[in-house]
Structure 1
Amino acid sequence: MTASELSIRQVEAFRALMQVRTVTLAAHALGVSQPAVSRLLADFESSVGLALFERRQGRLWPTAQAHALHAEVERAFSGFDRVVQAAAQIREQRRGAICVAAAAGFAADFLPRVAAAFAHEHAGVDVTLLTLEPALALERVAAQRCDLAIVNEAAPPPGVRFERLGQWPMRAILPRGHGLARKRVVHATDCEGEAFVSFESGTPARLRIDRLFAECAVTRATGVEADLAQAVVTLVEAGMGIALVDPVTAAALGTRVAVKRFEPSLEVPVNIARSVQQDGAPLADAFVRHAAAALARLK
């Protein structure tokens, strides 16, 4: 006998009879007629070459061979059950894995909060969060080694597509007790001559900020630079000057510094990066929805 000589229906008929003990109940469980179950059982016995039942008083009684074979059938069906369960979990987005990368400004506080909200809704899904420089994050997305990246970059590199989540205004941050901390809104002209903590030269944030102050004809005392938003915040907290930071960073500062609206508004684009090869990714779509909702609350 080979596996091809068996049919799943034969095995189902055998299993049903072993569970419910009568052909009538087995037929009802399978949704077929009693003669159909009898034929399936006879074919099954013939295929396996075993005497599985004794016929007494119009009933089928399992033999010792039937009980031994039934144990194997149950083990096999438990595997099928796991397949069905796994398929249901994947369909309901309760199984799988997702990897999301972001620069430190997003990864320190914002990304874990989004991931926690996502995980509550998708129990059973493995979530990996990576803190990477934007260029490396986009490289991993292009290579499909990461599902998503959250970036401020203006244009995607080859192999990556962007989904714009929106634009959010940068915030002014000041040492607590600074003279401008009493103002509800800090204007660019208020920064004339003030000590200013800047991002590293040549970075997108630095270029945007320098361009705005140049357009407003405002001169700042820019003697301190840092490459990470968290370092900028620490320098401001230490009294080294004022700064502009993205709203995600500003939202996580608590009482460390004074956070103020800034005019004229300098908006930061927030993009979700995906591989151009990514298609039909419901878990990634769900994570993006959570990220968009969290960003919307920053406005």
Structure 2
Amino acid sequence: MATPKLKERHLEIFRIVMATQSLTAAARHLGVSQPSLSVAIKRLEDQLGVALFARISGRMVPTEEARLILAEVERVHQQSEMLSDVVYSIARGQATTFRFGATPSIGMRLLPKAVRQLQLKGTAGTYYCDSLPQRDVRDYLLFGQGSCVATIATVEDPLIDTVKIGEANLVCVVPAGHALASLSSVTPGDIMGDTLISFTPATTHGLHIDETFRRWGVVRETSVFVHFVEAALSFVAEGIGITILDAFSAMDCTSSGLVAIPIENSVTVSAYVHSCLLRPRPLAADKLIAELRAIAADAGMR
């Protein structure tokens, strides 16, 4: 015959009586009557086939068997509490690894600020950020290498979901001591004659810059070509020339001794978070989107 399972309520009563060694105190703690508590203990003893307490001088004195049972009950109780904590931690994302990607324009300034907020709020246990060229974004998502990618470029694929997080204009980044640094805004014509550090026409930045120059009837003349915004900013910091970037990339550039000046009548650059429709977007990705939007809004970006 199968051994009947112990009821959780009986074990709870047993723990409290063991702790108080008094039916009166245990009944008060559990919010029940003393007679009903006495019946519950008797049922547990009958089920186990062993005496758990001896009544000596009005107190419930545990037997040796009761002490051994309590040790096991406490061990399982602690494991149960740990399991509960782990389950809640997973549900909140705190026990998971949040892997995501970003292209350099978003990854330079905007993304680190958002990740810092996620870290402070305990959104994930571990963060894994991949720096990606735009050409790798689609495969990165479709093959499940990461949960999402933040970038300023669109991804044309029916299996990719896109969420817009903000908009910004182009800015001209110059050294703090440059002649243009004191201006509130500049035009492409103001930039002509300076050594321009920029991108090829086929890149996302190159397309945005060329479209802005066309609005002014000016042809872009690049002296130094680079592939990534980090290189453009580093070259400007070394006094090699000036550059044109989206305002996302130029956030906080004053800390590097640079000044970002808005370009009049520039195109609007949108920032996005892409994810794959083939799998659910994790809660951490939704929280990242919210933080990115909040930081972009605080920085005056639409």
TM over 0.5: yes
The aligned counterpart of 1:251 is 251
* Superposed CA RMSD: 2.9
Residues 1:130 and 1:173: Cα distance change in structure 2 (over 3 Å): same
Deviates more, 1:259-268 or 1:122-131: 122-131
Taking the aligned partners of 1:294 and 1:88, their CA distance within structure 2 comes to 28
Within 5 A, what are the aligned runs for 1:200-215? 200-215=200-215
- The code of the aligned residue for 1:278 comes to P
Taking the aligned partners of 1:28 and 1:285, their CA distance within structure 2 comes to 47
Correspondence for 1:278 among 277, 280, 292: 280
SS of residue paired to 1:170: strand
C-alpha contact 1:197 1:242 (8 A) present in aligned 2? yes
C-alpha contact 2:118 2:124 (8 A) present in aligned 1? no
The aligned counterpart of 2:291 is 290
Measured after TM superposition, the shift of residue 83 of structure 1 is 2.8
Taking the aligned partners of 1:39 and 1:259, their CA distance within structure 2 comes to 79
Within 5 A, what are the aligned runs for 1:222-261? 222-254=222-254, 255-261=256-262
Deviates more, 1:206-215 or 1:133-142: 133-142
Residues 1:150 and 1:120: Cα distance change in structure 2 (over 3 Å): same
Aligned length: 298
The aligned counterpart of 2:117 is 117
- The code of the aligned residue for 1:216 comes to W
Taking the aligned partners of 2:240 and 2:3, their CA distance within structure 1 comes to 77
The aligned counterpart of 1:160 is 160
Residues 1:168 and 1:125: Cα distance change in structure 2 (over 3 Å): same
- The code of the aligned residue for 1:257 comes to L
Residues 1:2 and 1:200: Cα distance change in structure 2 (over 3 Å): farther
Within 5 A, what are the aligned runs for 1:135-214? 135-155=135-155, 157-192=157-192, 194-214=194-214
Measured after TM superposition, the shift of residue 230 of structure 1 is 1.0
C-alpha contact 2:123 2:284 (8 A) present in aligned 1? no
Deviates more, 1:179-188 or 1:63-72: 179-188
Taking the aligned partners of 1:4 and 1:131, their CA distance within structure 2 comes to 58
C-alpha contact 2:187 2:263 (8 A) present in aligned 1? yes
Taking the aligned partners of 1:132 and 1:45, their CA distance within structure 2 comes to 66
Structure 1 segments of 4+ aligned residues over 6 angstroms from their partners: none
Residues 1:70 and 1:131: Cα distance change in structure 2 (over 3 Å): same
- The code of the aligned residue for 1:32 comes to V
Residues 1:78 and 1:296: Cα distance change in structure 2 (over 3 Å): same
Matched, 1:75 2:97: no
Measured after TM superposition, the shift of residue 240 of structure 1 is 4.0
Measured after TM superposition, the shift of residue 95 of structure 1 is 5.3
Residues 1:207 and 1:47: Cα distance change in structure 2 (over 3 Å): same
Measured after TM superposition, the shift of residue 80 of structure 1 is 1.6
Residues 211-261 of structure 1 deviation map (CA, whole Å, 9 limit, x = unaligned): 222342212322321110011122333444332112122123225333211
Taking the aligned partners of 2:105 and 2:131, their CA distance within structure 1 comes to 9
Q: Which runs of 5+ in 2 are unaligned?
A: none
Taking the aligned partners of 1:69 and 1:59, their CA distance within structure 2 comes to 19
Residues 1:34 and 1:87: Cα distance change in structure 2 (over 3 Å): farther
C-alpha contact 1:142 1:158 (8 A) present in aligned 2? no
Taking the aligned partners of 2:266 and 2:205, their CA distance within structure 1 comes to 14
Taking the aligned partners of 2:293 and 2:103, their CA distance within structure 1 comes to 17
Within 5 A, what are the aligned runs for 1:6-25? 6-25=6-25
The aligned counterpart of 1:53 is 53
Taking the aligned partners of 1:135 and 1:12, their CA distance within structure 2 comes to 60
Taking the aligned partners of 1:176 and 1:59, their CA distance within structure 2 comes to 82
C-alpha contact 1:192 1:219 (8 A) present in aligned 2? no
Deviates more, 1:243-252 or 1:39-48: 39-48
C-alpha contact 2:109 2:250 (8 A) present in aligned 1? no
C-alpha contact 1:171 1:262 (8 A) present in aligned 2? yes
Taking the aligned partners of 2:36 and 2:218, their CA distance within structure 1 comes to 90
C-alpha contact 1:237 1:257 (8 A) present in aligned 2? yes
- The code of the aligned residue for 1:266 comes to V
Measured after TM superposition, the shift of residue 76 of structure 1 is 0.7
